[in-house]
Homo-oligomer: A and B are copies of this chain.
Amino acid sequence: MIAENTLEERVAGALDRFAIELPSWGFANTGTRFGKFFDPTAASTIEEKIQDAGQVHKMVGCCPSVAVHVLWDLEDLNHAEELVDLASVAGIQIGSVNPNLFQNQCYKYGSLANPDPEVRRHALNHCLESVELAQRIGSRDVSLWLADGSNYPGTANIRHRRDWLREGLCAIHEHLNAEQRLLIEYKPFEPAFYHTDIADWGMALLLSRDAGPRARVLVDTGHHYSGQNIEQIVAWLLQDQMLGGFHFNDRRFADDDLTLGSIDPYQVFRIFHEILLYEREITGEADIAFMIDQSHNLKPKVEAMVQTVITAQELFAKAVSVNHDQLVSCQNRGDLVGAEECLKQGFYRDVAPLIKEWRAARSLPPDPLLFLR
């Protein structure tokens, strides 16, 4: 290689391709099982959600799409085109489509893993409609999270439920077109408290492989056990080309759905680092969807979203700034302290000025949060 890119160039190039999807439900009032605190600025209709998402994208320039939750955002397939129009007016696109398999009363004992074939059929139909919706609006990813599981030992046949689930996923996969992907999320606890049918990345991986070649695993950063090394899971999924995307959020104890980087920013940085290191080795880009999935039930909605996006950009730029040559060299000669310091330098590097330059060059407000407030 004749000329190394400068850090400025590398960061700018990385930010050019860094996109993160907003969740429509992130602009609405959300809460905990103990109640909801209402934010007067929160969106209540899909129109307002899409407008809010468009507003965020205008300020940050890296959120070209908004994910939708089928039941919450859309009454039926006939409104698909309206959704596209709304997004278009707001300057964005509709992103991943999320079926809802947990709110209907029929899902009391599960959806695709329900012992009752009627309920499984109901759930499957809803998923197939979601696949069709995604096709109509030109969205690539159908993103599946199941609340399925059981609350008490002895009440469910874990293996039969897996079989039923597998059947459903295969049926959904069959209806995908050549561009579409099926993202399968895992979660070890809540709202099923004893066993969750897709409890961890291993189960999601096996089910994805069974479902078909366009199924991938979706990593929600809050869906892990305390102390689990998430970046290792990411590294394995990357290596097997089974990583479909992320739902980003942060947490202290359980699936707290706090804003990204608010509790453990170093971990998010390490996840980005594993992706970039992988891309360096394959000299190509990993095809991964970055998505936000938070409920941040106390912060003002748009403000929280802008804060989140900025944080994601900064942590990504920091990861981009890691000196891979130096890191690999330290690793190769067993220089633990050197390797660690090299990584940490990336994390602590002040990339804010570089990001401001990048924004200025794209006519974006240099400090979107300040601009908003």
Contacts and interface: CB of A to CB of B under 8 A. Distances in A.
Interface in A190-211: 190-191, 193-196, 199-203, 205-206
Interface stretch (A31-39, A53-61, A82-90): A31-39
Nearest to A314: B348
A interface residue count range (under 10 / 10 to 19 / 20 to 34 / 35 or more): 35 or more
B115 A334 contact: yes
Contacts of A328: 157
Given A154-B331, A199-B229, A348-B348, 5 more contacts: A151-B256, A153-B263, A156-B331, A193-B253, A202-B202
Interface of A: 30-35, 37-38, 102-103, 105, 107-109, 115, 147, 151-159, 162, 188-191, 193-196, 199-203, 205-206, 225-229, 231-232, 235-236, 238-240, 251-254, 256, 258-259, 262-266, 270, 273-274, 277-278, 281, 296-300, 303-304, 307, 314, 327-328, 330-332, 334, 336-344, 347-350, 352, 369, 373
26 contacts: A30-B33, A32-B33, A32-B190, A32-B191, A35-B102, A35-B191, A38-B105, A115-B331, A152-B259, A152-B298, A153-B262, A154-B331, A156-B331, A158-B274, A162-B235, A162-B236, A188-B253, A189-B254, A194-B229, A203-B236, A225-B225, A264-B264, A265-B266, A298-B336, A348-B350, A349-B350
